[in-house]
């Protein structure tokens, strides 16, 4: 796995930007995370985080280096059976997982939270939105309350490392394993091979 980090560069005290400072580029190579095989087969368990994401439209959608809210949220559980925690914003709308994006299927509609105020617009999330029509799904972006999320036919978590997995347990509710995550993972791999 490769991770590329670009920062403005080394600086001294204070927040003023020195226009003469050169950017810093860091390229890291690490082993891929080893996830249990049953996550892809039977789904994952999620938890609801108590931390609420603050709104900052200027940073919304960007994967920037200030992930302190996600770090604090991830500290809320130690149970190894819980794969990720779902984050809501200050208004109670679903935003993302601490390390994943979320997609919700309601019949033939596939919705993902609007990230205009906070959250990371992940690459895999965008790819799934583009691929949804090939599965007969109408993709969209919307404000989604926790109550609406609990009524979803399926909850999918995704990121660029594992693709797409179904959430089968969240906030006291259980969903039976279904096919969408498997179909999405296949389409993502197929598209990757074509590219």
What are the pLDDT digits (tens) for 10-41?
877 888 888 888 889 999 999 988 999 899 98
pLDDT at 192: 63
CB-neighbour burial class of residue 52 (10 A; exposed 0-12, middle 13-18, buried 19+): middle
Closest Cα to residue 159, out of 84, 88, 94, 105? 84
For the chain, the residue count is: 195
Q: Which residue has the tokens 């600086």?
A: 11
Six token digits for residue 140: 């969209």
* Averaged pLDDT for residues 84-100: 98
Task: Give the mean model confidence (pLDDT) for residues 52-58.
Answer: 96
According to DSSP, residue 193 is labeled H
Is the separation of the CB atoms in 131 and 188 below 8 Å?
yes
What distance in Å separates the CA atoms of residue 113 and residue 95, rounded to the nearest whole number? 6
Return the SS3 of 146: helix
Q: CA 174, CA 162: separation in Å to the nearest integer?
A: 22
* pLDDT for res 176: 95
Determine contact, residues 153/107, Cβ cutoff 8 Å. Answer: yes
Residue keyed to tokens 């082993």: 31
Dihedral (CA of 64, 68, 165, 3) sign = positive
pTM above 0.85, yes or no: yes
| Inter-helix orientation angle 180-194/123-131, to 10° | 100
Segment 100-151, tens digit of pLDDT: 999 999 999 999 999 999 999 999 999 999 999 999 999 999 999 999 999 9
**Binning pLDDT at 50, 70 and 90, where does residue 193 land?**
low
- pLDDT number for residue 194: 55
How do strand 138-142 and strand 2-7 relate by DSSP bridges? unpaired
Using an 8 Å Cβ cutoff, are 90 and 54 in contact? yes
CA distances from 194 to 48, 125, 139 (A): 37, 18, 22
Please give the domain boundaries of the chain with CATH numbers for all domains. 34-194 (3.20.10.10)
């Amino acid at each position: 796995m490769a991770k590329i980090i670009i920062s403005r560069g080394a600086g001294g005290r204070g927040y003023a930007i020195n226009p003469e400072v050169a950017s810093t580029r860091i390229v890291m190579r690490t082993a891929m995370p080893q996830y249990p095989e049953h996550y892809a087969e039977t789904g994952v368990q999620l938890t609801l985080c108590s931390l609420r994401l603050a709104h900052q439209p200027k940073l919304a959608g960007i994967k920037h280096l200030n992930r302190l809210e996600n770090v604090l949220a991830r500290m809320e559980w130690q149970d190894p059976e819980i794969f990720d925690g779902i984050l809501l914003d200050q208004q109670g709308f679903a935003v993302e997982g601490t390390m994943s994006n979320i997609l919700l299927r309601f019949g033939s509609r596939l919705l993902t939270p609007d990230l205009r105020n906070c959250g990371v617009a992940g690459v895999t999330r965008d790819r799934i939105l583009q691929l949804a029509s090939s599965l007969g799904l109408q993709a969209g972006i919307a404000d989604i309350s926790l109550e609406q999320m609990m009524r979803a036919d399926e909850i999918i978590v995704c990121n660029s490392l594992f693709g797409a997995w179904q959430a089968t347990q969240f906030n006291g509710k259980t969903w039976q394993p279904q096919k969408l995550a498997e179909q999405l993972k296949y389409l993502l791999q197929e598209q990757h091979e074509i590219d």
